[in-house]
A and B are shown apart, each in its own frame.
Chain A
Amino acid sequence: MKITRTEVAHVAHLARLTFREEEMEKFTSQLNDILLYMDKLNSVDTTGVEPMTHATVLYNAFREDVVKPSLANEQSLANAPDPRGEFFRVPKVIE
């Protein structure tokens, strides 16, 4: 096994996801298959090949440092489930 149920549960928790028992079984098995496939990819000799993060060879997509109008406050808050005044309101979190 490439991944344990405990690890799957840990990752699920980090993503704030909760699963039923049978889902846990299924996802553990699926993730295991994916990681086994990664092992297959890893068997290719990539000595001297730089890692790539994109399929396109594109560099330096920049914008200039120019300010453009932002959304109005009420637009920014329009999708918020619980706005208060000019703010988003959330349950209190203390670090």
Chain B
Amino acid sequence: MEFEPVIGLEVHAQLRTDSKIFCSCSTQFGAGPNTHTCPVCLGMPGVLPVLNRKVVEYTIKMALATHCRINRENSFARKNYFYPDLPKGYQISQYAYPLAEEGGIEVEVEGGKRRIGITRIHMEEDAGKLIHDEHFPSSYVDLNRTGVPLIEIVSEPDIRSAEEAADYLRRIHEILVYLEICDGNMEEGSFRCDANVSLRPRGQEEFGTRAELKNMNSFRNVQRALEYEIKRQQYVLEAGGEVVQETRLWDDAQGVTIPMRSKEEAHDYRYFPDPDLVTIAVSDAWIEEIRGTMPELPLEKRERFLRDYQIPPYDAGVLTTSRALADYYEEVVRLCGQPKVASNWVMGDILRFLKEDKRDIRDCPISAAALAEMIRLIEDGAISGKMAKEVSEEMYRTGKPPQTVIAEKGLVQITDEGALAAVIEQIMAANPTQLAQYRGGKDKLFGFFVGQVMKATQGKANPQLINDLLKKMLA
């Protein structure tokens, strides 16, 4: 029997605010343990949480970017459970009345695009961090992260493969970073993902029993974990067994998912409206004000690049992976007027340099203006493409403009026809055998002469000019 995977994803994204969601403690990562805490986030009795306005604004931004309906009135609830990283004994979250519902984004799949629905986006607070002692039955609690603002983005069970899941995640990640509402840092936990996955016989409407996967902290791991889990469930079903509804942890080292030891009442959260927090009312005026600050989103940018610059879809995809990279590219194009050549340089040499140094485009020693100038010099014939490789490396290393590098290295291309003709005459005189063979019909020797000229001029001769002159003189 052929099985079809059904996958839904839950993304937790940390919002890039300065202060926490309900108190004025800093959200800065990496501070000393328990130094960003106060009576509110420590869960002391008698304190009052007050909502950070920016959290609502950022969530509205994400809702607009993912075409969600924004609930004009929404509110917070308490999710009750006991765990040492949760000092109050409940997490403040949104339950019955989330900020946004019923949206979706498009992902690229073979042969086109597919829409993945978004069920809801809601605001909530993060929990603290536990560090387990390796030798004693003790855990150490750091509450700095307690109360850091999160949004949870829940997808519809619309995803049909591990690859599609990874693509959906990349798109969500990209939108969050483009909106500048989340730094997207997966290592620091600013972007986390859980997955629900089940199988059903192809053609069947109703869903199978699902497992929930946790502990996947990279796009690659999400894909690997889902691929593993799909196979595991397939073997279980094919052997006539039943999939157990449970939470499973991805074990990166072993490449398997293992069941998490969980208590039976784990999902009995007894939600109720949080009486400490008043209802949030979102007016049309507020939404429009926020809409006015929205940047161009990755998908729109990609489509505009295809249209305006006539570059291949692959190029447009790479160049729009970050806003800063896209801005850099557009500046180069604006100054040199050659979209495809600019794309080749940015995607090729520039990205390679940056990757080697693990540098961001914002810290690139070659400014967009300098790269554009170099492209113009190639176009004018002042340097060859081959020389430009050397020039760009030097520009990257020293941060100097192209003209300076060219002058310092003596890299001026020979475009003087007379001078080049003299070189060719010498070569013809020095290689009478090859000349006779070429003239006798051995066309392949043309390359030999090109090579000789390049060698004699140390690669500084304009290749087009060499070709033209050789054809004329060898004939």
Contact = CB atoms under 8 A, between A and B. Distances in A.
Nearest to A53: B273
A1 interface: no
A62 B34 contact: no
Contacts of B471: none
Contact of B52 (A65, A72, A76, A85): A65
Interface stretch (B136-144, B313-321, B462-470): B136-144
A78 B273 CA distance: 31
A72 B33 CA distance: 10
B19 A67 contact: yes
Contact of B19 (A65, A89, A93): A65
Contacts of B56: 62
- Counting chain B CB atoms within 10 Å of each CB, the highest count among A86, A91, A92 belongs to A92
Interface string A36-62: 000000000000000001101011111
B18 A89 contact: no
A63 B265 contact: no
A66 B324 CA distance: 27
Contacts of A70: 25-26, 35-38
A66 B24 contact: yes
B268 A14 contact: yes
B130 interface: yes
Nearest to B31: A70
B132 A63 contact: no
Dominant SS at the A interface? loop
Interface string A71-90: 11100110000001111111
B292 interface: no
Contacts of B52: 62-65
Given A65-B53, A65-B54, A89 B138 contact: yes
Nearest to B26: A67
B404 interface: no
A16 interface: yes
A68 B26 CA distance: 7
B279 interface: yes
Determine chain B's interface SS by DSSP, over half rule: loop
A61 B278 contact: yes
Interface residues of B, number: 53
A11 B80 CA distance: 12
A90 B37 contact: no
A88 B84 CA distance: 9
Contacts of B82: 16
A21 B32 CA distance: 48
A49 to B, nearest CB: 14
A73 B140 contact: no
Contacts of A93: 83-84, 130, 139
B34 A88 contact: yes
Contact of A71 (B39, B142, B265, B278): B39
A89 B279 contact: no
B264 to A, nearest CB: 10
B84 A90 contact: yes
Contacts of B236: none
B45 to A, nearest CB: 11
Given A60-B281, A68-B19, 13 more contacts: A10-B265, A10-B268, A59-B278, A63-B51, A65-B19, A65-B54, A71-B42, A76-B35, A85-B140, A87-B141, A88-B141, A92-B133, A95-B262
What 5 A-B pairs have minimum CB-CB distances, sorted nearest first?
Answer: A68-B24, A87-B140, A53-B273, A62-B53, A65-B54
25 contacts: A13-B265, A14-B265, A58-B278, A59-B279, A60-B280, A62-B50, A62-B53, A63-B50, A63-B52, A63-B53, A65-B55, A67-B19, A70-B38, A71-B39, A76-B37, A76-B143, A84-B140, A86-B33, A87-B141, A89-B138, A89-B140, A89-B141, A92-B136, A93-B83, A93-B130
Interface of A: 10-11, 13-14, 16, 53-54, 56, 58-68, 70-73, 76-77, 84-95
